[in-house]
Amino acid sequence: MVPVGNGTLLLRCYYGFNELLELGLIEKLPRIIAVQSEGCAPIYKAFKEGKSSVESVTNTGTLAEGIAIAEPMR
């Protein structure tokens, strides 16, 4: 599980595991579960709508302020 704000940590987890796979250090990619706050989830919204790009949303408030990125850059 990876907390997602801008998406950078999620991308780096994927790149890192993919590199381990290519080097033969793991046999398959693990399932990576991205987590966003219900009050600010633009990446989740784009995923659920089948979009290939992310549009900004309104941050309606969350206790998870560290990942409350309404307009993710990555």
What are 51-73's pLDDT values in tens digits? 999 999 999 999 999 999 999 98
Joined tokens for residue 13: 């987890």
CA–CA dist 14, 53 (Å, integer): 18
Q: Tokens 């997602």 label which residue?
A: 4
Joined tokens for residue 32: 């990576």
What is the helix (H) or strand (E) element at residue 37, kind and residue range? Answer: none
Query: Is the pTM here over 0.85, yes or no?
Result: no
pLDDT one-digit tens code per residue, 14-36: 999 999 999 999 999 999 999 99
C-alpha distances (whole Å) from 46 to each of 3, 28, 43, 64 are: 16, 26, 5, 20
Q: What's residue 73's pLDDT?
A: 82
Average per-residue pLDDT for the chain: 94
C-alpha count within 13 angstroms, C-beta hemisphere, residue 44: 17
